[in-house]
Amino acid sequence: MSYMLQHLTSGWDVDQAIINEEERLVCIRFGHDYDPDCMKMDELLFKVADDIKNFCVIYLVDITEVPEFNTMYELYDPVSVMFFYRNKHMMIDLDFFSYHLN
């Protein structure tokens, strides 16, 4: 499904996407289109893209084609999804199992 989502093909494109979007959340999937984990993520992102288009824009970035952010954002996993809002990186916690009830 990666062919259905917009790709950013340079560091400048990534910077402009983050900087110029002032109203919506920017979701960027870093990885490779051919990676099975990325394919699963891309399918999920494609399924929700129309539902969230009013408050979130989704982009894909190939970490080999655009290596500028690999060190800066520590992109060592096969698939990484990052969120930005008004040019600021948004940290989210998806670790549902760290909160144990005693």
Q: Is the dihedral of CA 90, 54, 29, 87 positive or negative?
A: negative
Whether residue 99 lies inside any domain: the answer is no
CATH number at residue 54: 3.40.30.10
How distant, in Å, are the alpha carbons of 19, 38, 47, 65, 86 from that of 2? Answer: 23, 9, 11, 15, 25
Could you give the number of structural domains in the chain? 1
Whether the pLDDT of residue 93 is over 80: the answer is no
pLDDT digits (tens, 9 = 90+) for 55-72: 999 999 999 999 999 988
Whether residue 101 lies inside any domain: the answer is no
Whether residue 100 lies inside any domain: the answer is no
Whether residue 96 lies inside any domain: the answer is no
* Tokens representing residue 37 in the block: 């984990």
pLDDT band at 91 (very low <50, low <70, confident <90, very high): confident
Identity of residue 91: M
The whole domain housing 84 covers 2-90
Whether residue 98 lies inside any domain: the answer is no
Q: Residue range 45-56: average pLDDT?
A: 96
Determine how many CB atoms are found less than 10 A away from the CB of residue 61: 24
Whether this prediction's pTM lies above 0.75 is answered by: yes
Whether residue 32 lies inside any domain: the answer is yes
